[in-house]
Amino acid sequence: MVHEGETLNRKVSEDTLASSVYHADMRRIDTIEPFRVMQLLERAKELESEGKKIIHMEIGEPDFPTPASVLDAARNLLDGDQFYTASTGAPALQQAMAHWYQQEYGVAVAAERILITPGSSGAFNMLYAVLLNAGESVLLPDPGYPCQRNFVRLAGGEPINIPVDPSTAYHLSADLVDRYWQPHTRVAVVINPSNPTGTLMPRQALQDIAERCKLKGGYLISDEIYHGLTYGERPACALEVSDDAIVVNSFSKRWAMTGWRVGWTIVPDQLIDPCRRVMQNIFIAAPTLSQMAAIEALKETESVERMRLAYDERRRFLLSELPKLGFEVVVEPQGAFYIYAGVSQLTDDSRTFCWRMLEEAGVAITPGEDFGMFQANQHVRFSYAASLHDIRLGVDRVRAFLSHDNRE
Ligand SMILES: Cc1ncc(COP(=O)(O)O)c(C=O)c1O
């Protein structure tokens, strides 16, 4: 049953991503792919150092500063205790988060189930260390957040990249879980809202997938890092539909705190102790100052709302302009700060297209290959974590680039 996807994955891998194909004689490190967008960013920085103005629509990092109230709190905290907290997190933050879950989603979560990690990346690495034995697999959406595949490989697991398309709003579904789940599969991951597509998963679909994972004796991990950055409907937290789901989230995006390295995971009771043991060993604890500042962040609503409204304005601008330029947006993104656009009317090679756009137009966008293999050459991702002024300029430059291209 897995064969169609596997064949597809393997074929595209062989064509475009030789390094991601796992051969028995390979060292594990040889299966770890670079985060390609960083290469584009490095070149963009080089061009900037030559005095060129580059429009950055490649990076998935808020362009806003951390809210002032959080910065103020951190300054005051500098005089306080800077020792390790408990491995699972500062109890005061765990309590504050439990309260926040009640307010935000109406779900009651015991504070000890909320484990504080160095960013959500720390949570994923820890979880895969807990959940996977060598060779066990994890179902991932393709396109999806690129580091996921590598987190799984680092734990000795096998990422199964499942092609997703507009028919499921670019998300895994219960049917896809049924089709791809194998005896050695342990986990399915949903990213809701999605990176790179910004699309939301309907509540019922989330519930169906959670039930399917439970039925199969595995786990659903719900990556909710873009919750709070949505522009219409509010996505459901996986804990609203299933108490057995594992939630992963972070202060990075919603609170513009990427560099503070503080995130969290909420796990079922039976995983608390295994997680604690791994956390004690691999990172001892998340940064103390950041954890304390995060308590302040949870109280911050005004500046978070201001950022959300600004993202929404940029989103609407791009959604109206991109189709006029020949980009195709099949499912309207309602969250995160990304638009995943089809480029088949413009090129059949999105990698070259993006590199040319950077070199010739000074606009950085990310090629589809960063997010997987499925129809990667026909897509690019625009990030609108850039000012509206820059985005307008970027659109003008793309228009000029494309009309020049057409004349040639
Ligand atoms: C979907 C998704 N998950 C996780 C992360 C990792 O974020 P952090 O480790 O800063 O919490 C990112 C970062 O871009 C992301 O887009």
| Topology given in CATH for the domain delimited by 8-64+303-407 | Aspartate Aminotransferase, domain 1 (3.90.1150)
Instruction: Give the pTM.
Output: 0.93
For residue 80, the model assigns a pLDDT of: 84
| Ligand 1 geometric centre to CA of 356 (Å) | 27
121 lines ligand 1 (CB under 6 A): yes
Residue-wise pLDDT tens digits, 124-170: 999 999 999 999 999 999 999 999 999 999 999 999 999 999 999 99
b/e sequence 69-79, b meaning 16+ C-beta within 10 Å: ebeebbeebee
Q: How many angstroms does the Cα of residue 342 sit away from the middle of ligand 1?
A: 23
Q: Is the CB of 120 under 6 A from ligand 1?
A: yes
Q: How far apart are CA 329 and CA 403, in angstroms?
A: 20
* CA–CA distance, 96 with 74 (Å, rounded to integer): 17
Report pLDDT digits (tens) over 62-116.
999 999 999 999 999 888 888 999 999 999 999 999 999 999 999 999 999 999 9
Q: List, by residue range, all CATH 3.90.1150.10 domains of the chain.
A: 8-64+303-407
| Ranges in the chain annotated CATH 3.40.640.10 | 68-299
Closest-lying ligand 1 atom to the alpha carbon of residue 60: 14
Q: Does ligand 1 come within 6 angstroms of the Cβ of 191?
A: yes
Task: Give distance in angstroms: CA of 225 to centre of ligand 1.
Answer: 7
- Tell me which long-range contacts 81-85 makes (C-beta under 8 A, separation of at least 24): 81/288, 82/288, 82/289, 83/288, 84/284, 84/285, 84/288, 85/116, 85/285, 85/286, 85/288, 85/291
Query: From the CB of 129, is ligand 1 less than 6 Å away?
Result: no
Ligand 1 proximity of 344 Cβ (cutoff 6 Å): no
Question: Which residues of the chain register pLDDT less than 70?
Answer: 1-24, 405-408
Give the nearest ligand 1 atom to 124 CA: 4
**68-299 domain in CATH 3.40.47.10?**
no
Q: What is the predicted pLDDT for the residue at 7?
A: 36
Ligand 1 atom having least distance to the Cα of 195: 1
Tokens describing residue 251: 């202060």
The closest-lying atom of ligand 1 relative to the alpha carbon of residue 226 is 1
